[in-house]
Structure 1
Amino acid sequence: MQSEEGSYNAHRYLLTRVLQNYSKDIRPVSKHMDPIEVFINVMPKALINYDEINGVLHMSFALELSWIDEILNWDPSLNHNISFLRIPATQVWTPRLFCLNAIDNIAMDKATSENVLYDYKGSAIYLMGLQSSTLCPPNSMYFPFDIQVCYIDVISSLSFYEETFIANAVIYDVFEQNPLWDLLNIRISVVRNEQGQLLIFRIMVKLQRRHAFFMVTIFTPIVFLAFVNLFVFVIPVDSGERISYAITVLLSFTVFLSLVTDNTPKSSLTISLFSVYMFMVLLYSFLITLSVVVILDIYFTNKDQAPKWNLSKMVVWGLKKERSKVQRSVITVLPKTDDTEYAEKTTKTDDPHDVDYKTISSALDKFFIRFYSLLFTLITVTFMTVIALDDK
């Protein structure tokens, strides 16, 4: 008990003595022209959230600052072999740091009495636990396969000839994974601003979105809906369900487009390729609905009348013209007779303008189901190819 009391008194006496003529407002250097070198280690704790809609990165991390205090030192042999002291940060000089791109409070130092660890030579280690909210403009072009690069810019209250930063290391020992974003890399560096008058300690945070959720809940249902949309050409025309079926699928695509829009930044600087893909699929479904209307108009037209819709009339006119060309080119070679060696005559056909509208609508069903299958495949393959090339 007496030994513990003696150790306590020795620490208290040493703390009082080293702080007796110490001022926390003056840089602890023996020559006022010498800058203080502050070594910085970054220890990321957690990626709290990246709000790509508003372009804000919320992150929890610690900064381990170390420097040499030329004023605060002692001889252990004269002070009960005490080699280390923990002194409240409010009583000694510490670097005052500010975050340039913070969205709220730019001051990074806290008013709490965190301790600074000193050894007898004056080496100081100060650990700052922080939660930062910094601006990070999103790049959503390759959503949901996008990679975001954010910067946390830290400066000192002193000029660069009074205090210099030295980027030391990034320590991932305590980092916890985020369910939505994967932390690819953190790099630290010391740069100067464009005017060369400000020294900036820059933390670069590189993130990649975990896209499995979006692939399962958005992309896969879109592919299934696009495939199911083709079945509208298989439904019997007389059932009267074709229009309602096509419009239902079209509205489903509209819902998925709104989901994509809600999860991407509302910016005209970078438009998501996935939004473009969704728009193309929506256009694909609209064209299918339009084709169904044309087929129904042709199917329910009487034989002695013309379709009511102008687009349907153009389709029928084009088919009649093509059928007329084919019929004029059909020639039958007759066998040899007594009067002539060979006889050729044109095959008699029906009036080219006499067309069975139900046959035309059936032919259009077969054509459109092949055409739109090819169109959707082309749209999807193009989208996936562009994404794959970007990943490389």
Structure 2
Amino acid sequence: MVFLFGVCGLHAASYGTYEDVKTLLNDKLNGYNAEIRPINNQSMPVDINIIFNLMNIESFDEIAGVITVTHVMDVTWRDEELVWDPHSYGNLTQMSVSSDKIWNPKLFSIDPTTNTALIGDNNFRVAINAMGDVYWNPGGILRGHCVANVSKFPFDQHECVIKILPVGYTDAEVSFELPNIELSFFSQNTEYELVQHTDVTSFVSPVTAFYLTVKRRPLHHLISLIFPITMLGLAIPLVFVLPFTSGESSSYSITM
């Protein structure tokens, strides 16, 4: 699923032949070192922009305090080693390669069940335009930590956080710019409703935290649990109203 390609400039026509693409790949990737941050001035950080496309809430475990969501992220940065003149390559303005062929920030989520989990793999390709802008769209399942509070059940509300960081880099090497949560493709959960979302970037370390507030939908629990128990509680005392000698009192008690 690709969200950025039509928004950030990759929708422009890309010309060129097979040989043009082959030549461009050879020229740019031969001698390319994916272990080195792709910025000429190594004293400067690589600026990374993240849009967190929240697809849906898969589940919420109140006991473990874990929320599971489906997502696709739009991750962009500029690779100064992958800039070219389109006129030298048959007016080719973009190319696509496997994400392991070039440097990428190796994003991890701080998973409350497994400590850390790598986001994306080599199956998620990257698109690159002639200015060196790289567009990467990893996605899948993410888990976050929640502070579960069921004291107001079934009208309870829970605060959850999903944290993302590029392991192995300091804030002087990688910086996140204006992270954002996008809900254009979001489908509401049948049991929990997303009522609020915010995002925060740490200024101490390159960590981006996405905060979600989820609220339980009470109707199902009201109909199947609260109302029946309430009605039963009101009906049971009526056994003392019926005359005991008629036998109806005992049969009513057994029914209740």
Q: TM (normalized to structure 2)?
A: 0.87
Q: Which residue of 2 aligns with 1:159?
A: 170
Picking from 41, 45, 66, the partner of 2:51 is: 41
Q: Does 1:175 pair with 2:182?
A: no
Picking from 231, 236, 240, the partner of 1:233 is: 240
Picking from 180, 185, 198, the partner of 1:187 is: 198
In structure 2, distance between residues paired with 1:27 and 1:242: 82
Q: Which residue of 2 aligns with 1:205?
A: 212
Does the residue aligned with 2:83 lie in a helix, a strand or coil? Answer: coil
In structure 1, distance between residues paired with 2:131 and 2:21: 16
Distance verdict in 2 for CA 1:102–1:136, change over 3 Å: same
Q: Which residue of 2 aligns with 1:147?
A: 157
Give the letter aligned to residue 165 of structure 1: F
Q: TM (normalized to structure 1)?
A: 0.58
Indicate conservation of the 8 Å contact 1:188/1:202, yes or no: yes
Between Structure 1 and Structure 2, which shows a larger proportion of strand residues? 2
Give the letter aligned to residue 237 of structure 2: L
Give the letter aligned to residue 95 of structure 1: P
Structure number with bigger Rg: 1
Q: Does 1:85 pair with 2:95?
A: yes
Q: Does 1:124 pair with 2:131?
A: no
Picking from 33, 42, 47, the partner of 1:32 is: 42
Instruction: Give the C-alpha shift of residue 167 in structure 1.
Output: 2.8
In structure 1, distance between residues paired with 2:33 and 2:65: 42
Picking from 17, 22, 29, the partner of 1:19 is: 29
Indicate conservation of the 8 Å contact 1:61/1:129, yes or no: yes
Indicate conservation of the 8 Å contact 2:106/2:166, yes or no: yes
Distance verdict in 2 for CA 1:107–1:230, change over 3 Å: closer
Indicate conservation of the 8 Å contact 1:103/1:135, yes or no: no
Give the letter aligned to residue 51 of structure 2: N
Indicate conservation of the 8 Å contact 1:63/1:128, yes or no: yes
Does the residue aligned with 1:73 lie in a helix, a strand or coil? Answer: coil
Between Structure 1 and Structure 2, which shows a larger proportion of helix residues? 1
Q: Which residue of 2 aligns with 1:69?
A: 79
In structure 1, distance between residues paired with 2:115 and 2:140: 12
Does the residue aligned with 2:231 lie in a helix, a strand or coil? Answer: helix
Does the residue aligned with 2:202 lie in a helix, a strand or coil? Answer: strand
Give the letter aligned to residue 123 of structure 1: D
In structure 1, distance between residues paired with 2:232 and 2:218: 20
Gaps of 5+ in 1: 1-5, 250-392
Picking from 143, 162, 166, the partner of 1:133 is: 143
Picking from 222, 227, 233, the partner of 2:229 is: 222
In structure 2, distance between residues paired with 1:107 and 1:225: 48
Aligned counterparts, 1:275-286, within 5 A: none
Indicate conservation of the 8 Å contact 1:167/1:201, yes or no: no
Indicate conservation of the 8 Å contact 2:179/2:208, yes or no: no
Give the letter aligned to residue 188 of structure 2: Q
Moved over 3 A (4+): 239-249
- Percent of aligned positions with the same letter in both sequences? 26
Which has the bigger relative contact order, CA under 8 A and spacing at least 6? 2
Does the residue aligned with 2:209 lie in a helix, a strand or coil? Answer: strand
In structure 1, distance between residues paired with 2:145 and 2:155: 21
Indicate conservation of the 8 Å contact 2:143/2:162, yes or no: no
Corresponding residue pairs, total: 241
Q: Which residue of 2 aligns with 1:332?
A: none
**Cα root mean square deviation, aligned:** 2.0
Indicate conservation of the 8 Å contact 2:120/2:140, yes or no: no
